[in-house]
Structure 1
Amino acid sequence: MIDFVQGIVVDIDEESVIVNVNGVGYQVFVPRPEFYHPKLNQPCLIYTHHYMREDWMGLYGFQNKEERYLFRLLLGVSGIGPKGALAMIGQGNLNQVIQAIASEDEKFLTQLPGVGKKTAQRIILDLKDKVKGLSFRGNLFDIMKRKEEGIISTKHGSDLKEALKSLGYHDQEIHQVLKSLQPLIEKGEPLDRLIKQALQNLMRE
């Protein structure tokens, strides 16, 4: 997994930038290539998502982790590929897109590139619960971290997080299931019951 690339921007086209990292040129597809024109021949750090499938491998890049977070959420929606997700981020304000999903604003979403009515409905259905509760004005990860810290402040919450990590679940998945089980955690349910319920929730996802 390539988490970021840091180097000199040496070329820019309509879809991507080329970053020279210690003599190796990485092509990184970005939502707004024009953003990088002032950075041409200058040092730059780009957060990346390394996308791989049988017939294609590519790096998709973002100005910050919040853009990448939304990109990964969109990739999880049936029928949306990396190019489509990138185009949506490039044409829409990050906070506006998240708010539209949370408020089920189908009309706004259909104004994004490549998003028809059915795709907008799938986005809302799949992601509305995953973005609810996030602040549209602050840093998404700061908000998520504070919420999670409140949940895992109890011993059972902390133990549950560690148990799910040991089973190979990612931070994003763990955050969502901790949030869904918050009432049970605060109630003091036994850890074995929490783990069982968490696994059931994750399987449904």
Structure 2
Amino acid sequence: MIDYIKGEVAEITPASVTLECGGIGYQMNISLNTYGALNGKTEAKLYVYESIREDAHVLFGFMNKHERELFMLLISVSGVGPSTARVILSSLSSKELENVIASENAAVLQSVKGIGAKTAQRIIVDLKDKIKFTDESGNVVQSAKDDLTETGHAAISALIMLGFVKNASQKVVSKIIKEDPSLPVEAIIKEALKRL
């Protein structure tokens, strides 16, 4: 899995960027927010999500990990694919999207091209307990119904990458952390693998 690519900006359009790294050009689909942050830069470091389909390997690039996390949450919602998630993140900033979900404002989501009433409601229902709410300066002020530590979130991410279902992983990891909050992430993952 590619975590990030750092290199020279070879080509850029509002929809994609090509970063040259070690003589290889990596083309990545980007949101308008990432385009705005990249515009005028000659070098960049983009966090990557790799979408592997039967007919193509497509890279999506993000200016920061937070935008990538929101993208991954969006594509976890039934009916929202990578292209739709990118359109959402082009229409709304990360903070705006979090606030729309937190306030359950389906009308704003429906204003995004390609998002109907049912999809907007599904995004809100599926993600309102998973997003981190931030203040004006971008600091996390609370996570809705989420008392997991950073270690817990890291363990859940690892389990999802191993192919386990998110909800089941969250329940098991929460239980393990309640039993022993001092466990390092590797120990949590090993214990979770025994229980899942």
- TM class by shorter chain equals 0.7 to 0.9
Q: Choose which of 134, 137, 144 in structure 2 pairs with 1:136.
A: 134
> Aligned equivalents of 1:151 and 1:55: distance in 2?
36
Shift of 1:88: 0.6
User: What is the CA-CA distance between 1:176 and the residue it aligns to?
Assistant: 3.8
Which residue matches 1:54? 54
**Structure of larger gyration radius:** 1
Q: Equivalents in 1 of 2:2, 2:15: separation in Å?
A: 19
Partner of 2:39: 37
Alignment correspondent of 1:177:
171
Preserved CA contact (<8 Å) 1:8 1:20: yes
The Cα shift of 1:185 comes to 2.4
Q: CA deviation at 1:44?
A: 0.9
- Please tell me whether the aligned partners of residues 49 and 61 of structure 1 are also in contact (alpha carbons under 8 angstroms): yes
CA distance in 1, matches of 2:36, 2:74: 23
Please list every run of 5 or more consecutive structure 2 residues that lacks an aligned counterpart in the other structure: 182-190
For the residues of structure 2 that align with 1:127 and 1:143, how far apart are their CA atoms?
A: 14
Give the structure 2 partner of residue 2 of structure 1: 2
**C-alpha RMSD of matched pairs (Å):** 3.7
- The answer for the alignment partner of 2:119 in structure 1 is 119
Q: Which amino acid aligns with 1:185?
A: K
- 1:191: which partner in 2? none
CA contact (8 A) 2:48 2:60 kept: yes
Q: Provide Cα deviations, 1:142-167, integer angstroms capped at 9, x if missing partner.
A: 977x9534997xxxxxxxx69x96x9
**Residues 174-198 of structure 1, C-alpha deviations (whole Å, 9 max, x = no match):** 884378659x927x9xxxxx96xx7
Question: Number of aligned pairs?
Answer: 175
- The separation in 1 between residues aligned to 2:61 and 2:101, in whole angstroms, is 22
Kept in 2, the 8 Å contact 1:151–1:185? The answer is no
Measured against aligned partners, the alpha-carbon deviations of 1:101-137 in whole angstroms (never above 9, x if no partner) come to 1332111211223211111011112212212xx2322
Q: In 2, are the aligned partners of 1:77 and 1:123 still within 8 Å (CA)?
A: yes
Please give the secondary structure, in 2, of the residue aligned with 1:87.
helix
Q: Which moved more, 1:115-124 or 1:59-68?
A: 115-124
Q: How does 1:1-205 map to 2 (within 5 A)?
A: 1-32=1-32, 33-39=35-41, 42-131=42-131, 134-137=132-135, 138-139=138-139, 147-149=147-149, 168=162, 176-177=170-171, 181=175, 185=178, 199=196
Unaligned segments of structure 1, at least 5 residues? 153-160, 189-193, 200-205
- Name the TM-score, length of structure 2 as normaliser: 0.73
Question: Which structure shows the higher helix fraction?
Answer: 1
Equivalent-residue separation in structure 2 for 1:97 and 1:111 (angstroms): 12
Indicate the percent of aligned positions where both proteins have the same amino acid. 34
